[in-house]
Structure 1
Amino acid sequence: MTKGFIRFIAGAVCPSCKAQDKIAITPDDKTIYCLSCDFKEHKPQENATKKTKTSSPNVFKIEDFRPKKS
């Protein structure tokens, strides 16, 4: 990856400012952030330790960032 490369999550809406298609993800897949406001969210640790089978190690699931319903 080159420096300055930004990966966007298509169709994502920022929960803070409600801007669509402004949510990006860090190269290490641990943080999502909004380019319109200062919103940042880190991936929960419990999902990082859970082993799941994926077809590619670079597969990212938006569910990892959604709050758990209790």
Structure 2
Amino acid sequence: MKKFTQFIAGAICPSCSEQDSIAIHKDDDEIFCAKCGYKEFRPGSKKDSKKEAIIKAINVVDIKDFNKIKK
């Protein structure tokens, strides 16, 4: 069975620091870097939906919250 892969725009690899090289396998929530081969498995908890788990995995911040932090 072929895995569905989606690249995460703007994500930076924690291993090689390349931007736009991080992708996620939607089927099993495996995050990987297409440049250096870094892999990480980040399953969501039962309380979290799959979308929320992905957002937490890539540290997406609401712009309103970002502006509060920035000040």
Say which one has the larger Rg.
2
CA change 1:19–1:41 in 2 (3 A) is: same
- Counting aligned pairs with the same residue, the percent is 46
Residue of structure 2 in register with 1:41 after alignment: 40
Q: Which amino acid aligns with 2:24?
A: I
SS at match of 1:59: helix
TM-score, normalised by the number of residues in structure 2? 0.60
More helix by share: 2
- Count matched residues: 58
- Whole-Å separation in 1 of the counterparts to 2:56 and 2:37: 21
- Gaps of at least 5 residues in structure 1 are none
- Whole-Å separation in 1 of the counterparts to 2:42 and 2:33: 15
Q: Aligned-pair RMSD on alpha carbons?
A: 2.7
- Whole-Å separation in 1 of the counterparts to 2:27 and 2:34: 17
CA change 1:37–1:29 in 2 (3 A) is: same
Deviation of residue 12 (structure 1)?
Answer: 0.1
